[in-house]
Amino acid sequence: MSDFPDDMPFFGDPAAPRAQAGGSVAPGGIAARAMKARSAPNYLQGLNPEQRLAVETTEGPLLVLAGAGTGKTRVLTTRIAHILSLGLAYPSQILAVTFTNKAAREMKERIGVLVGGAVEGMPWLGTFHSIGVKLLRRHAELAGLKSDFTILDTDDVIRLIKQLIQAEGLDDKRWPARTFANMIDGWKNKGLGPSEIPEGDARSFANGKGRQLYQAYQDRLKTLNACDFGDLLCHPIRIFRAHPDILREYNARFKYILVDEYQDTNTAQYMWLRLLAQRPDNSRRQSGSPISPLAGEIGAKPGRSTVNICCVGDDDQSIYGWRGAEVDNILRFEKDFPGAAVVRLERNYRSTAHILGAASHLIAHNEGRLGKTLFTEAPNPDDDRVHVHAAWDSEEEARAVGEEIEQAQRKGHALNNMAILVRASFQMREFEDRFVTLGLNYRVIGGPRFYERLEIRDAMAYFRVVAQGADDLAFERIVNTPKRGLGEAAIRQVHDYARARDIPMLAAAADLVATEELKPKPRSALKEVVDNFTRWQSLLDSTPHTELAEMILDESGYTAMWQNDRSAEAPGRLENLKELIRSMEEYESLRGFLEHVALVMDAEQNEELDAVNIMTLHSAKGLEFETVFLPGWEEGLFPHQRSLDEGGRSGLEEERRLAYVGLTRAKKNLHIWFVSNRRIHGLWQSTIPSRFLEELPEAHVEVAETGNSYGGYGGYGQSRFDRADPFQNSYSTPGWQRAQQNRSEATRSNWGSRSGANVERIGYGEADSGFGAGRGSVKGRTIDGELVAKSVSDTPSAFKPGDRVFHMKFGNGNIAAIDGNKLTIDFDRAGQKRVLDSFVQRV
DNA sequence: TAAGCTCATGTTTTT
DNA sequence: CATGAGCTTA
């Protein structure tokens, strides 16, 4: 098609990229053997046979099941290099999709190493969303947008929906915008438009107004010349369906399609891929049919022209089901693409045999897997087993992990090679606190983002209005920031005028300031705003964008606003604004920069610094570290209660996959921790070791002896597993048995319903005795010689107001009030606190 | 208009 | 507990 300026030849005869004959290369077939016989180019050297098969099977559909650490990225990048060097396609004829920018960036770099500058000619290598934007900008008018449309982030979306909910006269507290934003997101993940959502869904929000609101939202987006993340996929899908001629152009263009992390694709992404993977012979089957998902949009029948699509993934690492990913997509691949070749990569180059053994045994507890078993070719008898540690509470956990890190550091291990992977981000804090105390460098990955800061968002809002005058959300954000005396009333007037005429607010403001509608003061203030934007917009194409950006921030008074601010954060904010301008230099234009920010929300981390990495298990996917710490393996936290409540069995399986991801991040050393007490929402609760611990195979695990800290599991004997029955590993230490017993008790009493009423709590005695047996607990039950208090909220409290009590953390105090099993106590030193009755005793 | 107060809320997270 | 949102008060 003529509007592709990017067709650049690579190797071989530029005029005629050769397409190999259709049909896949049967493993062991003549073609495959012939390929092997040929002397292998450099880039193929060092691939193992499976990898090489995956690289060289260029024709036809191919599913690569790549276990953790089996060289997935290498296969993907080498495959692209291979296609290019054989001249099977131009760089611009390869569609390569990833989920994250990080993955896209890495792939690009690694292809660059293999093929050099040719990678620059690959405009279709990127995330689903970035490729979606590219498609949509080309065909924006077919979706009712202009090609300079704005991409809204979650925050904008919520504000917009809130306005709509209020406009409907609904109570935005009863019907939170955030909830509806999530619903819309869910629908868009499934590729459903307002008219296609299930009736039940439509009814479940705002007294049956769900569908109407969704439609109103889409209409509003059109007026704003904007779209949300979901639209980046859904609009192209609609365009392809409604305009087969356009789709055919892309079908013809993309000679090779590669998809990374296929197990994470949602339904919309799946439909998108299927459309793009259509080939001439079967494109007839698709028409402008409504979204009746998944129904034979493709299907390369044997004997017809097949599609060269290669999906790489690992069903065992599917951890994004909660945001719409369909593991089923990968499980169904061979049905979707008949005649597909499947290559399994099971040879692991990352972890020790113990780590692999533990991970494999754990994941084997899941049903419905495609089934892979990782193995290593280099088992080493000296390797450490997976260590399981117990701690009294999360504070001790953080302290002990800190000690181990320092110890490793003394042995010469770099902090960069260590990571702490948590289930939930609140766990990070305790580690951060501890590391600050120790003076240990750490880095939080996936924390609060640069572009989400207030001052950055404000500045971006200015830029957005300049770049795209219809962006009302941005306009509203900064029209009175800094304060210009444009209060609610004035803004309301502009808003209503704009809505009534279906024009952008900036245009409405321009109209209004020419009339006598507004009071003199707001009128002149608004006039200045309008004039400013008009001027900045006129400079957009003639002024270097960084210069323009600085001009905007100065002339608007935004910079001055922070300069005059005497608060502690102000200097930091100014610094961030400077950083923002600096980072703009790397982009060609203001628009390019805005797009980058919309799609790549994160700023780069400082990798120079040697620091321990702290992140969630989710963000650890794809990474590897020499030493990995996995704290918080307790029921309710991991597996997370909410996954269990909402996802049932499949929720549990997803949690298990998450555990599997965690285990397989480690190359050499792996330490798992659980604590017996954790503070949740301010209350100390006793916890039970995660069921996943029991699912680890004894042969690869060692329960660490920890006699080092106060109140801990000091009296532990040598760690042992129950040899009698390897499948029902019961650890034979007292603490373990107690844990087991607690667990079965708890299960019987419906553990962890959200009420928190039947959470088991362990009572304890004086501060220095820690877990001392039987000392002064409230209502007790003896297990293994230790006293376990069970307190349930419907049991009347044994205390009365005015009682003098002792609490291990807060010391002595008097009871002020009682609420079920929760006591409000005025502590002598710590002030008033609410604690559970099982944590205090009378003095 | 901005600070101060009460109240509700509480996974994971990309784009 | 700790944060954020919304509301009240000076």
* A344 among known catalytic residues: no
- Give the other-Cβ count within 10 Å of A804's Cβ: 11
pLDDT tens digits, A773-829: 222 222 222 222 222 222 222 333 467 777 777 655 556 777 777 755 556 677 665
| pLDDT confidence band for A28 (50 / 70 / 90) | low
What does the alpha-carbon distance between residue A189 and residue A233 come to, in Å, rounded to a whole number?
9
The catalytic position among A78, A265, A317, A733 is A317
Buried b (16+ CB within 10 A) or exposed e, A323-354: ebbbbbbbeebeebbeebbebbbbbbebbbbb
What does the alpha-carbon distance between residue A436 and residue A640 come to, in Å, rounded to a whole number?
28
Integer CA distances (angstroms), A422 to A455, A606, A616, A633, A828, in order:
30, 21, 5, 9, 35
What does the alpha-carbon distance between residue A204 and residue A222 come to, in Å, rounded to a whole number?
25
Residue A785 is predicted with a pLDDT of 23
* A267 among known catalytic residues: no
Cα dihedral value A434, A435, A437, A440, nearest 10: 160
Mean pLDDT calculated for residue range A25-45 = 64
Q: Phi then psi for A715, rounded to 5 degrees?
A: -85, 15
| Whole-number distance in Å between A485 CA and C10 C1' | 20
The catalytic position among A52, A238, A665, A667 is A665
Pairing, β A341-345 against β A386-393: unpaired
Structure tokens at A234: 């859904």
Domains of chain A: 44-143+235-280+305-346 (3.40.50.300), 150-224 (1.10.10.160), 355-448+605-703 (3.40.50.300), 452-585 (1.10.486.10), 803-842 (no CATH)
Structure tokens at A264: 């994470």
Nearest nucleotide to the CA of A172, by C1', is C6
Long-range contacts of A719-725 (CB under 8 A, 24+ apart): A719/A388, A722/A698, A723/A698
What does the alpha-carbon distance between residue A18 and residue A88 come to, in Å, rounded to a whole number?
5
Euclidean distance between the first and the last CA atom of chain A, given in angstroms as a whole number: 85
Amino acid (one-letter) located at A180 = F
| Whole-number distance in Å between A487 CA and B4 C1' | 21
For residue A447, say whether it is annotated as part of any ligand binding site. no
DSSP class of A17 = P
Specify the higher pLDDT residue, A514 or A765. Answer: A514
| A340 contacts: CB under 8 Å, gap ≥ 6 | A24, A60, A61, A62, A63, A333, A334
State chain A's mean pLDDT as an integer. Answer: 78
**Strand B nucleotides with an atom less than 7 Å from a protein beta carbon:** 1-2, 10-15
Mean pLDDT calculated for residue range A93-116 = 91
Give the Cα-Cα-Cα angle A485, A489, A490 (nearest 5 degrees): 60
Nearest nucleotide to the CA of A176, by C1', is C5
Closest residue by C-alpha to C1' distance, nucleotide B2: A483
| % of chain A at pLDDT higher than 70 | 76
* A72 among known catalytic residues: yes
Nearest nucleotide to the CA of A642, by C1', is B11
Q: Give protein residues whose Cβ lies within 7 A of nucleic acid chain C.
A: A 172-173, 679, 681-682, 833-834
Residue A642 is predicted with a pLDDT of 86
What does the alpha-carbon distance between residue A44 and residue A664 come to, in Å, rounded to a whole number?
26
User: Is A44:A81 a contact under the CB 8 Å cutoff?
Assistant: no
Q: Which of A159-163, A336-340, A465-469, A764-768 bottoms out in mean pLDDT, i.e. has the lowest? A: A764-768
The catalytic position among A72, A74, A385, A743 is A72
Amino acid (one-letter) located at A337 = F
For residue A127, say whether it is annotated as part of any ligand binding site. no
| % of chain A at pLDDT higher than 90 | 43
Pairing, β A612-616 against β A341-345: unpaired
Nearest nucleotide to the CA of A133, by C1', is B15
| Whole-number distance in Å between A46 CA and B5 C1' | 67
For residue A144, say whether it is annotated as part of any ligand binding site. no
Q: Which of A12-26, A277-291, A331-345 bottoms out in mean pLDDT, i.e. has the lowest? A: A12-26
Nearest nucleotide to the CA of A683, by C1', is C1
Q: Looking at the predicted structure, is the pLDDT value of residue A839 above 60?
A: no
| Whole-number distance in Å between A314 CA and B6 C1' | 49
| A278 contacts: CB under 8 Å, gap ≥ 6 | A247, A251, A286, A297, A298, A307
| Whole-number distance in Å between A485 CA and C8 C1' | 22
User: Is A681:A424 a contact under the CB 8 Å cutoff?
Assistant: no
Integer CA distances (angstroms), A227 to A221, A509, A596, A650, in order:
6, 23, 15, 33
Q: Phi then psi for A670, rounded to 5 degrees?
A: -135, 125
What does the alpha-carbon distance between residue A349 and residue A68 come to, in Å, rounded to a whole number?
9
Q: Which of A170-184, A263-277, A323-337 bottoms out in mean pLDDT, i.e. has the lowest? A: A170-184
pLDDT tens digits, A670-699: 999 999 999 887 788 888 999 999 999 999
pLDDT tens digits, A76-92: 999 999 999 999 999 99
Give the Cα-Cα-Cα angle A821, A827, A830 (nearest 5 degrees): 115
Mean pLDDT calculated for residue range A617-635 = 93
The secondary element (H helix, E strand) that includes residue A686 is strand A683-686
Amino acid (one-letter) located at A508 = A
User: Is A318:A657 a contact under the CB 8 Å cutoff?
Assistant: yes
Residue A24 is predicted with a pLDDT of 46
Of A226, A230, A232, give the one whose Cα is nearest residue A471: A226
Bridge partner residues of A814 (DSSP): A804, A826
User: Is A793:A757 a contact under the CB 8 Å cutoff?
Assistant: yes
Residue A493 is predicted with a pLDDT of 86
pLDDT tens digits, A728-782: 233 333 333 333 333 333 322 222 222 222 222 222 222 222 222 222 222 222 2
Structure tokens at A240: 């392809």
Whether the bond between A482 and the residue before it is cis, its omega within 30 degrees of 0, is yes
What does the alpha-carbon distance between residue A102 and residue A602 come to, in Å, rounded to a whole number?
10
What does the alpha-carbon distance between residue A213 and residue A229 come to, in Å, rounded to a whole number?
18
* A484 among known catalytic residues: no
User: Is A579:A136 a contact under the CB 8 Å cutoff?
Assistant: no
| A388 contacts: CB under 8 Å, gap ≥ 6 | A671, A672, A673, A674, A693, A696, A701, A702, A703, A704, A719
| A498 contacts: CB under 8 Å, gap ≥ 6 | A472, A504, A505, A507, A508
Amino acid (one-letter) located at A413 = H
| Whole-number distance in Å between A119 CA and C9 C1' | 62
Residue A841 is predicted with a pLDDT of 66
Q: Helix axis angle, A210-223 relative to A154-167, nearest 10°?
A: 120
Structure tokens at A271: 């439909």
User: Is A222:A145 a contact under the CB 8 Å cutoff?
Assistant: yes
Give the Cα-Cα-Cα angle A280, A299, A309 (nearest 5 degrees): 80
The catalytic position among A228, A260, A316, A404 is A260
Q: Looking at the predicted structure, is the pLDDT value of residue A189 above 70?
A: yes
